[in-house]
Amino acid sequence: MTDPGDISPADAPQAPDHPADRPPTPSQAVDAAADGDTGRPHRWAALAGFGAVAAAAAAGGALVGPRRPDTMRWYRSLAKPPFQPPAAVFGPVWTGLYAAIAVSGWRVWRRPDSPERTRALRLWGAQMAANAAWTPLFFGARRPALALADLTAQLSSTAGYTASAARVDGPAAALMAPYLGWTAFAGVLNAEIIRRNR
């Protein structure tokens, strides 16, 4: 029989510690990061900010878009390809796309500081600037060729952003997939309008 006095403190049974005092497991740390638990303040205000940038791009386009009577007359005079979507499609599609773009940028913003996060946020801003420029170029200036050049830059910066976002936050990159597809389709449509109206 062992004398209780022979048991060293290291061998003595330890009382279970409180769960809150335990360090997170690797899986818990990953889950916390995926939930955006990075300690950034004002995250909901930041989401509103990203949404405001997207909304500003949409509103700026509306000011010079095809709803103006003279612009509508010009646009209707253009020869268009048979795969041109109905006008009623564009509003709902762009509403959803702008929402996804805003949430994607916000999710990247919530990640811990890193060079890749910084690069992704810069590319997010670049693609939004190119996005905002397309409608004034195509409808406002009535320069489809310049608009196509802008659209090419937009597609490039969006692809770059998506690749950078994928290394920072997977869901943020996935949110951009519909936008990438739509931008590529818009480029084909823009190019076909140029070809048919030479």
Contact, 65 vs 71, CB < 8 A? yes
7 is a domain residue = no
Amino acid at 61: G
End-to-end CA distance of the chain: 102
62 is a domain residue = yes
Give the number of domains in the chain. Answer: 1
46 is a domain residue = no
Pick the closest to residue 61 from 158, 175, 177, 186 (CA basis): 186
19 is a domain residue = no
Range of the domain at 180: 57-196
Q: Residue 63's pLDDT is what?
A: 82
Q: What pLDDT tens digit does each residue of the chain (198 aa) get? A: 445 444 444 444 454 454 444 544 433 433 444 444 455 778 899 999 999 999 999 998 888 877 788 999 999 999 999 999 998 999 999 999 999 999 999 999 999 999 999 999 999 999 999 999 999 999 999 999 999 999 999 999 999 999 999 999 999 999 999 999 999 999 999 999 999 999
The Cα–Cα gap between 132 and 138 comes to: 11
The Cα–Cα gap between 46 and 66 comes to: 32
Q: Degrees (nearest 5) of the Cα angle 96, 127, 189?
A: 70
13 is a domain residue = no
71 is a domain residue = yes
154 is a domain residue = yes
Q: Write down the H helix ranges in the chain.
A: 26-34, 43-64, 69-77, 87-110, 115-135, 144-166, 170-174, 177-196
26 is a domain residue = no
Contact, 50 vs 103, CB < 8 A? yes
The two structure tokens encoding residue 154: 């937009």
Q: What is the CA radius of gyration of the chain?
A: 26
CATH of the domain at 153: 1.20.1260.100
